[in-house]
Structure 1
């Protein structure tokens, strides 16, 4: 008997990542789709040979469903993920884990109570270039990490969202909450925690709604750009820029500067990873290209999640990891709003 999966929310992330990756996974038998908008669920059920459920509570309590993907919008994660866990389901939740620390803790408590697997889709940990970079950094062949910089920007969620318009929920304060920081920034904070085996401790930032407008041509209620300075517990310092206004080309690059050289990740199209040593020697790796909104490849997230359930292993991104990244993003937004340096 294979695994039966329920997916809550049938937007772009479900259509382009979750559904095709479950469909391709040999251990998954059936997908059940739910969306507040039944036509969306219907369309994906047809596309991926699944079935639909019109009542979310039925989906969450169905004893035949073992796994739930929570692809609802940010403000609902704590509701659906918590209920799913307490109903004995393993849960894969989209990022951010939630919009507040209290809500994130509700999910973590439910996970402890249920003993089920809970993973958050911080998919940057899964790319081969990032995994190889972590190996190189951990091996200490380049000595200690001193500084870093990272960026994640593209032309905005209205290009990618299901309705391809400025009415996207990503632009609405009560649903998106954190703007580009919660959409793109949180991925990179989680990645830095992972690569550096460290945690952000102090942050400062500037933010703005510099260019995006909503469906009424008003500036959006959340930031479309945020630029931060970061200091870690181990004393490394660096910068991060997150943007929805990189018009022309996506940028998903990270550079780690060590005592004996530099690690460049997704900096060049030809070589996803480059190591440049102090004396100028270059080692270039050709690994897979990172997913972009225009180039959807298997993220590895679904396969890793199903594997953690089958093998009873801790998922690669735990709820605790996701809560840490959320705390940093909330700190960054607070720093930008108050013009202060914030301790996480």
Structure 2
């Protein structure tokens, strides 16, 4: 198998904690180029990984050696840079949310098809062992008919994580477009679609800015979701969980309740209607706490899809479906109505 030569566009936190170390840890990959508008950051990163430094993504894309890129920029640049990369003949791994509108997402998918290139969206929650096990149990009918669910993803906010701290683009509407709902909520819409194995058809939401004084984007959102089969549940996304991160999902079924990432020791606890309780220790979820950046598997999956020429596990169209739920939630909050997806 040949080595995949990659470039990373945007050298902020997600690149530093996930993309770059995971590419570096993959023996089928060579990091050949990095780009950041902050020249010092680009140079420092390039030195660390033995790559060429760029401050212009267009210049990086004109480097014929680069076969694939990770797009790790502020949200508003995801679509334009991904489309430019696909049109330059590069495979693309794009951070979430993939775009700021359905139109942008469709243009990205079209560019991938037109150029015969892979487009994958970095939704890592699908690869968490407890989540994969829960999907398997539901598919096998272990939980019976699924009645309801609740999912939460929250922490104290991106200022503790972003490369720019309190001045982060995460808080600026013109760069982020959407706050906690795009940063965290879209991960859960993707996860729930994956675990439940069906699409959402309706969403109602309250989306507020209550915790962050320096933000003009949402920092706390609560949504009610309904699937095509009539399963209903809630999704909360927040930057206002000050002491401890919450990344839990609970699925309520006819035969069992599945608790995912809810117990500090057991990543999946299945509580059966019979009274039986099965506890799984499957290894934890990736977290931003305590430098706990275990392998997210996103990079390995993307690399394999390019080198083995197979469909990425989170394709552009999968990313778009997860984005549309979030866009529907924003619309619901603005119109104060339930939105059909």
Moved over 6 A (4+): none
Residue of structure 2 in register with 1:259 after alignment: 254
Q: CA offset at residue 58 of structure 1?
A: 2.1
Q: CA offset at residue 30 of structure 1?
A: 2.8
Once the two structures are superposed, what CA deviation does each residue of 1:66-90 show, in whole Å capped at 9, x if it has no partner?
Answer: 1110111100111110011111111
State the distance in 2 between where 1:153 and 1:54 align.
33
Residue of structure 1 in register with 2:114 after alignment: 113
- Mapping of residues 245-256 of structure 1, within 5 Å: 245-256=240-251
Once the two structures are superposed, what CA deviation does each residue of 1:182-217 show, in whole Å capped at 9, x if it has no partner?
Answer: 000000000000000111111111121111011xxx
Q: CA offset at residue 49 of structure 1?
A: 2.9
Determine if contact 1:207/1:226 at 8 Å carries over to the other structure. yes
State the distance in 2 between where 1:54 and 1:151 align.
37
Q: CA offset at residue 54 of structure 1?
A: 3.3
Q: CA offset at residue 160 of structure 1?
A: 0.5
Residue of structure 1 in register with 2:44 after alignment: 43
State the distance in 2 between where 1:96 and 1:264 align.
26
Does the residue aligned with 2:165 lie in a helix, a strand or coil? coil
Determine if contact 2:97/2:183 at 8 Å carries over to the other structure. yes
How many equivalent pairs are there? 338
Taking structure 2 as the reference length, the TM-score comes to: 0.97
Q: CA offset at residue 150 of structure 1?
A: 0.2
Taking structure 1 as the reference length, the TM-score comes to: 0.96
Determine if contact 2:249/2:260 at 8 Å carries over to the other structure. yes
Once the two structures are superposed, what CA deviation does each residue of 1:81-119 show, in whole Å capped at 9, x if it has no partner?
Answer: 001111111100000110011111110110110111110
Once the two structures are superposed, what CA deviation does each residue of 1:154-173 show, in whole Å capped at 9, x if it has no partner?
Answer: 000111000222x2111111
Determine if contact 2:31/2:49 at 8 Å carries over to the other structure. no
- Mapping of residues 291-310 of structure 1, within 5 Å: 291-294=286-289, 295-310=292-307
Once the two structures are superposed, what CA deviation does each residue of 1:111-152 show, in whole Å capped at 9, x if it has no partner?
Answer: 110111110001100111111111011111221111111000
- Mapping of residues 206-217 of structure 1, within 5 Å: 206-214=206-214
The two structures, once aligned, show a CA RMSD in angstroms of 1.0
